[in-house]
């Protein structure tokens, strides 16, 4: 399968713990995006990378959130000191630079903070 | 932030019926996309539209980019059980990288 992959698919953690999610984009895609989706809502943009550079961050991305894409391939999203309000589906998407509108999503990581 | 108004919020139809849903905005979008999402999964891209007035089909699905660039619709013909799911419209403003999503239309089909 050559689509976007995410790991883990599900994560249950206790409030105050740190969690890290991984995203592997489609291999030739140099743009990578993170979105968050809460129940009953559409996805909301968090941040995006072009290669290894993080070029835009949403106001939703509080200082407890950090994303990296060190080698311009896979990306990680870390949430420190998780709160119950962080419970959501975290989606990763990727696109080609020349066709950045057409974003392909991964299966998501469902985070539950107890 | 930008809002996309997607309607209807839910639809309950009989198998074989045609379905129509739409998305409107007060802003002008450069791109419209339609996705389908199954429970516990990520959105799957159905159709992407890049020009005002563009009409594009993907099997039984047809979508159009409104002339005003502020709306789009998706039609599904002859619905089948596997069409069940949540359909999202998404738009991209000129110069923006992110997608803005509607609230979704939940489609339920009675066999």
The answer, yes or no, to whether residue A43 has pLDDT greater than 70, is yes
A91 contacts in chain B (CB < 8 Å): 42-43
Cα–Cα dist A59/A108, whole Å: 21
Whose CA is closest to A77, among A107, A105, A49, A55? A49
Confidence class for position A79, pLDDT limits 50, 70, 90? very high
What band does B110 get if pLDDT is binned at 50, 70 and 90?
Answer: confident
Give yes or no for residue B2 having a pLDDT over 70: no
The set of residues, in sequence order, having a beta carbon less than 8 Å from that of A26 and lying 6+ positions away, is A2, A3, A4, A94, A104
What confidence tier does A99 reach under pLDDT thresholds 50, 70, 90? Answer: confident
- Specify whether the CB–CB gap between B102 and B5 falls below 8 A: yes
Other beta carbons less than 10 A from residue B105's beta carbon: 22
What is the average per-residue pLDDT within B36-63? 96
Please name which of B96, B75, B86, B88 lies closest in space to residue B31, comparing C-alpha atoms.
B96
Q: Is the pLDDT of residue A100 over 90?
A: no
Residue B98 and residue A56: Cβ atoms within 8 Å?
Answer: yes
Is the CB of residue B75 less than 8 Å from the CB of residue B18?
A: yes
The answer to whether the beta carbons of residues B34 and B101 sit under 8 Å apart is no
Q: What is the pLDDT of residues B77-103, one digit of tens each?
A: 999 999 999 999 999 998 889 999 999
pLDDT at A72: 87
Count Cβ atoms within 10 A of the Cβ of residue B37 and give its class: 0-12 exposed, 13-18 middle, 19 or more buried. buried
What percent of chain B is predicted at pLDDT more than 70?
A: 98
CA-based nearest residue in chain A for residue B99 = A45
pLDDT of residue A31: 95
* Backbone phi and psi for residue A105, each to the nearest 5 degrees, phi listed first: -100, 150
Report pLDDT for B111: 78
pLDDT of residue A12: 98
Measured CA distances, A109 to A28, A43, A68, A89, B3 (Å): 22, 13, 17, 6, 25
**Average pLDDT in chain A:** 95
Contact A42 B104 (CB under 8 A): yes
H-only helix segments in chain B: none
SS3 A15: coil
Record: contact A43-B48, CB cut-off 8 A: no
What pLDDT is stored for residue B14 in this prediction?
Answer: 96
% of residues, chain B, pLDDT over 90: 92
Here the tokens at position B63 are: 């979508």
Average pLDDT over residues A44-56: 95
């Amino acid at each position: 399968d050559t689509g976007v992959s995410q790991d883990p698919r599900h994560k249950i953690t206790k409030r105050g713990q740190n969690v890290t999610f991984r995203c592997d984009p489609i291999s030739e895609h140099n743009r990578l995006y993170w979105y968050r989706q809460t129940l009953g809502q559409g996805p909301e943009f968090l941040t995006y990378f072009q290669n290894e550079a993080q070029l835009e961050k949403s106001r939703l991305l509080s200082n407890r959130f950090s994303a990296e894409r060190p080698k311009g391939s896979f990306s990680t999203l870390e949430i420190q000191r998780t709160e119950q309000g962080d419970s959501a589906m975290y989606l990763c998407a990727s696109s080609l630079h020349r066709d950045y509108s057409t974003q392909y999503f991964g299966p998501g990581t469902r985070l539950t903070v107890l | 932030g930008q809002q996309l108004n997607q309607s209807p919020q839910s639809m309950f139809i009989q198998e074989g019926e045609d379905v129509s849903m739409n998305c409107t905005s007060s802003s002008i979008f450069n791109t419209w996309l339609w996705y389908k999402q199954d429970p516990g999964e990520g959105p799957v891209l159905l159709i992407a539209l890049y020009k005002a007035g563009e009409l594009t089909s993907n099997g039984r699905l047809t979508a159009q980019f409104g002339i005003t660039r502020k709306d789009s619709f998706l039609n599904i013909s002859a619905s089948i059980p596997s069409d069940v799911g949540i359909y999202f419209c998404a738009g991209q403003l000129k110069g923006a990288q992110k997608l803005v999503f509607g609230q979704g239309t939940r489609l339920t089909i009675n066999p």
